Structures are given as structure tokens and as C-alpha cells.
Amino acid sequence: MKEKAILEIHIDIAERGLKMMTELGEVSMIPFAGTCDCDAFKGIVEPWGVDTQIVNQANIRHLSARYVLTGKDEEGNDCHIYIENNGWMENKPSMSFTTVPTFLTDSPVLAPILHRNQFIGTGNVEKDGLWIRFYEIDH
């Protein structure tokens, strides 16, 4: 299985979010914004994106982020990309994680690529912040 990079997003974490502790686990809601500067798309992550993280009783962290990119596709057309990005990991300090993204777009150029369910995502904390990268899986 080969992977082809399609999008790379630099995430800016908002300073305030919500963290709630319960007898069944923990819930965090983390607002964020960001930028995307790739060959296929250049633009911003709208500032109403939110990553909801739930840690269950088995100490597994479920990550679920939903957000919209606004910008221009590779042909210079104004467009949007909606992203729902889900993942799971052990609840311990980690510098990286893997996700399964779903995309919707109003770009006729990007739709033939993004409207397929053949993607994985990675999240990596690097010295300049959090990077989310999406790859198309080539079977």
C-alpha cells in the first residue's frame, strides 16, 4: 500500500477550551484555526473548528475534529473543504497520532479526489506546532 500526500495543515490551538471530568471519563473541546499551503489548496482553517476528545474508562482517547477550510483550489477557484477527522489512541503523552478523515468540497477540481473514502491522516507535534497531514491510500 502506497500513500500520496494531498493536504498539510498547520493548526493554531486556541487558548481557551473546555475540559470536563466525570466518573466515566474526561471530555475536552479544543477550538482551533490554522492555515493550509499545498499544491492542491491554499487557504485558512476557519476559526470555528473544534477538536472533541473523550477519554473513556479504558483510558482510550477518541479524537473527533470538524472544521472548514476556505481558500482556493489548484486552479485558483474560491472553494471550501469540510473535514471530519476521527482517531483513537492510548491516553498517554504522544507526539503523533493517526486518523481517518472524511472530506466534502464545493470545488469541482478537488471533488473527484476528496469525495472518496481512501485516506488516512497523521497528526504530529513539531517544534513549530501541530501539523495535520492527509494522504490518499493507493491500493
Q: What is the pLDDT of residues 34-62, one digit of tens each?
A: 999 999 999 999 999 999 999 999 999 99
Higher pLDDT, 78 or 139: 78
The total domain count for the chain is 1
Kindly report the CA angle at 59 between 27 and 87, in degrees rounded to 5? 70
Has this prediction a pTM greater than 0.85?
yes
Higher pLDDT, 14 or 124: 124
pLDDT at 138 (0 to 100) = 77
CATH number, domain at 103? Answer: 2.40.160.20
Residues 6+ apart with CB under 8 A from 40: 6, 7, 73, 74, 110, 113
Domain residues for the domain of 94 are 2-138
Higher pLDDT, 58 or 103: 103
pLDDT at residue 1 is higher than 70: no
Which band of pLDDT confidence, cut at 50, 70 and 90, is reported for residue 92? Answer: confident
For 114, the 3-state DSSP assignment is helix
